[in-house]
Amino acid sequence: MGERKLLMIPGPTNVDPAVLRELSKPTPAHTDPLFIESFKEALENLKHVFMTKRQVFAIAGSGTLALEVGVANIVEPGERILNVVTGYFGDYFVRISKAHGAVCKVLEVPWGKCAEPNQVKEALKEDDYKAVTITHVDTSTGVVNPIGEIGAVVKENSEAFYIVDAVCSLGGMEVRVDDWKIDACVSGSQKCMGLPPGLALLSISDRVLNFLEKRKTPVGMWYGDIKNWLPIMMDPSKYFATPPVNMIYALSESLKAILAEGLEQRFRRHHIIAEAFRAAIEALNIRLVADTKCRADTITAAYYPEKIEDAPFRDEMRKHGIVVASTIGLIRSKGFRVGHMGNVGQNDILSTIGAIETTLANLGCKFSMGTGLGAAQDRLVAL
């Protein structure tokens, strides 16, 4: 198979050659008028994907930087924050909050389940929180949280800023920043946005921008201080720190492709492919990590059947040209995770299911070959 591998991990995901070509273009000056136009256009298009009229940001860094920028700018040392944790990445917010001196109240939800709006409502009664953090899709479990409903609860029951991690959903599932009353929506480039890793993407509400004018203490990170970036995002001809010019070109290209496909159509494609994959896995009698009512359309985590171990499974998958990830955190190596987001198409998902069947058969599982593929094909006709 040589180097030809199909990347089916939950990020990075497969990048379209048209986007990759932008990375190999001669690197322009960040002051080049054509580059500045491309940056402006990318930011305008990014607003559509965040479904917001507010200010968006594209900064060199990974998703984790976006999480940190969101928390560090909003919370001041000693202030209280409610961290809703439904998996491994929910805990990132706890660690970041503590690193910036916040006092954390953690609302821990068992892995595989989503947070209920009522749980958040109850938690909000206990204290006055400066902010509430939550992960839209936790990549460790494949659970999707009801961000819109929880956003309404946060606004109705508190003054808290609402910070949402959309690293594993932006561009693949609906993220309605304005409708869902999200104050800081934070994401990255290497998942549903169809780009390589390297960009932290954010949408920041006017309420946050107003608050930044009256913050009592300096933001605990200079590179991540929103006030340093705001003039550049409003006018990319200005300078604060050199933008990753080729990545901005790539962002501009991928956003054009996303909007040309159409957001509704894109979400539908993700949904049908996710349904097909879940149907295949369940037809093979493999247990999914996420509860039925909260399964994300971008990633699926599943437990290994009895006697199947992580390393042999993934090694065998690799021999069939497919790269999948293992489960992490509390359920480390107990299962595998498949990312079906970004540029994923039906050929990719069918190849993955086919490889899963062959792998399981080679590792001694007994089932009727083609069971998963048939179940998936039944769903994929809707595409």
Ligand X SMILES: Cc1ncc(COP(=O)(O)O)c(C=O)c1O
Residues that bind ligand X (CB under 6 A): 11, 62-64, 67, 89, 92, 135, 138-139, 165, 167-168, 188, 197
Nearer to ligand X among residue 57 and residue 89 (C-beta): 89
Nearer to ligand X among residue 67 and residue 250 (C-beta): 67
Nearer to ligand X among residue 35 and residue 180 (C-beta): 180
The DSSP annotation for 180-215 comes to TT-SEEEEESSSTT---S-EEEEEE-HHHHHHHHT-
Give the length of the chain: 383
Residue 280, token pair as written in the block: 């295949």
Rounded CA-CA distance 351/242 in Å is: 41
Give which of 47, 125, 39 is closest to 82, Cα–Cα.
125
Residue 368, token pair as written in the block: 């009727």
Residue 57, token pair as written in the block: 């940001």
Nearer to ligand X among residue 64 and residue 377 (C-beta): 64
Rounded CA-CA distance 16/257 in Å is: 10
Residue nearest to ligand X according to CB distances in the complex: 63
CB atoms within 10 A of CB 364: 9
Nearer to ligand X among residue 11 and residue 244 (C-beta): 11
- Give least dist CB 31 to ligand X, A: 28
- Give least dist CB 247 to ligand X, A: 13
Rounded CA-CA distance 127/82 in Å is: 9
- Residues β-bridged to residue 246: none
- Give least dist CB 363 to ligand X, A: 27
Nearer to ligand X among residue 11 and residue 70 (C-beta): 11
Amino acid at 291: D
- Give least dist CB 175 to ligand X, A: 12
- Give least dist CB 191 to ligand X, A: 7
- Give least dist CB 180 to ligand X, A: 17
